[in-house]
């Protein structure tokens, strides 16, 4: 145990973290949940809350791809252009990525899929991958929001790159301007949060991603929330959906 590192954390913060872990263990739901919704619907914002509350793993394909871009690899260079235009990465690449991630021990208590699937072929492949280990998607939560609302949200979004935590300069500001609440590291604006790219991401969402809503509705596992309300109100709904058997 690294006592040196723990000595920097206050007793109150340590006890709070222990309590969180204990509660997660007690309430491990072992569900696989897909978060659906337009860019800016609040998928990342609520994934962070679900992760803290239910100790599931958080698989954000956008965060995983941005990490690859930051690594400077040849593959990352290819991804960068596609993402900055707001286009989608090939289905096969994305399905292989998610398959590797789902196999990690961190996902044994359940998984939040944020940004995947994004096309019908991805949704079908995800079902096949899970079926191989006797699992399936338990719930798909559709965060419904109008286009005009998300354009405002994305224009003001600030992100902590290492964790994927998001803030909004007006709607959800950090405690200190420009700085992540947890680590104190600087916040940045995402390259694809420029207006022209936002418009393209919204078109891609309408054409390729929105049919997935019906895919899960037909399976009887779709739950819809009005995602235009304040974060705490949306979170109450999501919490009760996740807790339903």
Which residues are CB-contacts of 216 (< 8 A; sequence separation ≥ 6)? Answer: 34, 36, 123, 137, 140, 142, 222
Spatial distance between the Cα atoms of 233 and 53, rounded to a whole number of angstroms? 16
Please give the backbone phi and psi of residue 129, each rounded to the nearest 5 degrees, phi first.
-60, -45
Please check whether residue 85 is in contact with residue 200, taking contact to mean a CB–CB distance below 8 angstroms.
Answer: yes
> Which residues, 8 to 27, sit near ligand AP5 by CB under 6 A?
none
Interface positions with Mg ion (CB under 5 A): 44
Q: Is 213 in the site for ligand AP5 (CB under 6 A)?
A: no
- Least distance CB 201 / ligand AP5 (angstroms): 5
Please check whether residue 136 is in contact with residue 32, taking contact to mean a CB–CB distance below 8 angstroms.
Answer: yes
What residue is closest to Mg ion based on CB? 44
Q: Which of 144, 172, 189, 210 binds ligand AP5 (CB under 6 A)?
A: 172
Contact region for ligand AP5 (CB under 6 A) — 2-10, 35-43, 100-108, 129-137?
35-43
Among ligand AP5, Mg ion, none, the one that 39 touches (CB under a kind-dependent 5 to 8 A) is: ligand AP5
Among Mg ion, ligand AP5, none, the one that 201 touches (CB under a kind-dependent 5 to 8 A) is: ligand AP5
Answer positive or negative: Cα dihedral of 19, 20, 24, 27: positive
Answer positive or negative: Cα dihedral of 54, 56, 60, 66: positive
Looking at 118, 125, 153, 165, which residue is catalytic? 118
In 3-state terms, what secondary structure has residue 110?
strand
Looking at the Cβ atoms of 44 and 86, the one nearer to Mg ion is 44
Decide if 30 is catalytic: no
Please check whether residue 23 is in contact with residue 76, taking contact to mean a CB–CB distance below 8 angstroms.
Answer: no
Looking at the Cβ atoms of 27 and 191, the one nearer to Mg ion is 191
What residue is closest to ligand AP5 based on CB? 62
Number of residues that bind ligand AP5 (CB under 6 A): 35
Question: Rounded to whole angstroms, what are the CA distances from 34 to 97, 122, 126, 127, 227?
Answer: 16, 12, 11, 12, 15
Looking at 31, 43, 125, 153, which residue is catalytic? 43
Q: Is 120 in the site for ligand AP5 (CB under 6 A)?
A: no
In 3-state terms, what secondary structure has residue 172?
strand
Residues annotated as part of the active site: 43, 118, 157, 190, 201
Interface residues with ligand AP5 (CB under 6 A) are 37, 39-45, 61-62, 65, 82-83, 86-89, 94, 115-116, 118, 122, 153-154, 157, 166-168, 171-172, 192, 201, 230-231, 234
């Amino acid at each position: 145990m690294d006592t040196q590192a723990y000595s920097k954390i206050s007793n109150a913060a340590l006890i709070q973290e222990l309590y969180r872990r204990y509660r997660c263990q007690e309430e491990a739901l072992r569900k696989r949940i897909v978060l659906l919704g337009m860019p800016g619907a609040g998928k990342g914002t609520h994934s962070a809350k679900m992760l803290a509350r239910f100790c599931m793993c958080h698989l954000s394909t956008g965060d995983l791809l941005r990490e690859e871009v930051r690594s400077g690899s040849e593959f990352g260079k290819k991804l960068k252009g596609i993402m900055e235009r707001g286009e989608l990465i090939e289905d096969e690449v994305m399905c292989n990525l998610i398959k590797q991630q789902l196999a990690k021990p961190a996902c044994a208590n359940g998984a939040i899929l944020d940004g995947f699937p994004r096309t019908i072929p991805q949704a079908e492949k995800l079902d096949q991958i899970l079926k191989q280990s006797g699992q399936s998607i338990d719930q798909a939560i559709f965060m419904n929001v109008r286009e005009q609302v998300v354009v405002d949200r994305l224009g003001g979004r600030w992100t902590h790159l290492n964790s994927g935590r998001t803030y909004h300069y007006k709607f959800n500001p950090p405690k200190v301007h420009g700085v992540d609440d947890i680590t104190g590291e600087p916040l940045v604006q995402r390259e694809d949060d420029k207006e022209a790219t936002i418009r393209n991401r919204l078109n891609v969402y309408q054409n390729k991603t929105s049919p997935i809503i019906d895919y899960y509705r037909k399976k009887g596992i779709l739950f819809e929330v009005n995602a235009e309300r304040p974060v705490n109100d949306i979170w109450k709904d999501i919490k009760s959906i996740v807790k339903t058997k």
